[in-house]
Chain A
Amino acid sequence: MKLLAFVHWLSSTPLSQLIQRTSWAIPGIQVVHILSLATLFALVLNLALRMAGRGLTAEPLRSLAARFVPVVWACLSVLLLTGSLLIIAEPERTITNQVFYLKMGLLLVAIVLLLWLIRAARREPENPSRLKVAAAAVWMLIWTGIIIAGRYIAYYIA
């Protein structure tokens, strides 16, 4: 199977070998991954609450989004980088794992909703319509699902 051949090739690359040989590398990369996900999760929670007309209401959504969204992108970049390193280190753990693809699918939806939120934040006047409240709730559920799926990658044997 082509996918398995790719997995074997990836785990034989020098970078993969280096991470595998360095005992602290995988936990170290995971800790950076976890710190970024915690920061991202708290930021999107505040954006979602603000979109629903709650939370940091002293600041307009437009201004809050202008401050938080760049940090969300930065966190996503770090997550993508550390996540990629973890895949390169142990490709058989993720590439043949269905939960990993579920996580990536959810991530795609979360990013589409982030782009929608950015547009909604730019538009004035802001009002927490039912659609925005529902979108904010769904958005948080998806981010929560991403975290749970991420943990289940370790338990799901494909």
Chain B
Amino acid sequence: MSVDFLEWLQGTSVAVAVAEEWFPLVESVHVVTMAIVAGTIFIVDTRLLGLTSTRLPFSYLSERLLPWTWWAFAGSVLTGTLMFLSNATGYYANTPFRVKMVLLLLAGVNMLIFQKLTFRSVAAWDAIRPPAAARLAGTLSLCLWCGVIGFGRWIGFLIGK
């Protein structure tokens, strides 16, 4: 990505307003929405591993929780984008930021594979311990989201407040 474009981004009025005034609030909302995203995913993932909520069908649990995950994720993307704009050149050059984006992408790919392949046979395992492919998806998801949070916190330590 060109430096000119990144510099233009962080010079926009929205970016300047976030950098000069709104950063703490935007970051706080990012933490709240992140908590809903990660927390609901942990509940669904541990069900996928057959460890929790075993008396609830998997499809029911995910149907009830995932709308919260998606709305909160939209909030996280919005607040995350605002934070990125406030210091686009800094974030772009920040290694933990890059790793976090890759991990988010991998979490998305993992979810897509699960949805398109494993979840199609959900009727066969909805009320029992999910098959190995589902448990693998759950394990990967747990690890990837812990990584997203870990590298996310690390970004702030290198970029300063």
Residues of A whose CB lies within 8 Å of any CB of B are 27, 30-31, 34-35, 37-43, 45-46, 55-56, 58-59, 67, 144, 147-148, 150-152, 154-155
Contacts and interface: CB of A to CB of B under 8 A. Distances in A.
B153 A144 contact: no
A38 B153 CA distance: 13
Contacts of A154: 24, 161
B32 A31 contact: no
Contacts of B40: 42, 45
Nearest to A155: B24
A58 B60 contact: yes
B43 A46 contact: yes
A27 B99 CA distance: 16
Contacts of A37: 35
A38 B56 contact: no
Interface of B: 24, 27-29, 31-32, 34-40, 42-43, 52-53, 55-56, 60-61, 64-65, 68, 146, 149-150, 153-154, 157, 161
Contacts of B29: 148
A30 B149 CA distance: 10
A43 B43 contact: yes
- Chain B binding surface, main DSSP class: helix
Given A41-B35, A148-B32, A151-B31, A27 B157 contact: yes
Contacts, number: 77
Contacts of B65: 46
B14 to A, nearest CB: 20
B39 A27 contact: no
A152 B24 contact: yes
A42 B36 contact: yes
Contact of B68 (A31, A45, A148): A45
B146 A35 contact: yes
Contacts of A43: 39, 43
B42 A38 contact: yes
Given A55-B64, A148-B28, A155-B161, A30 B55 contact: no
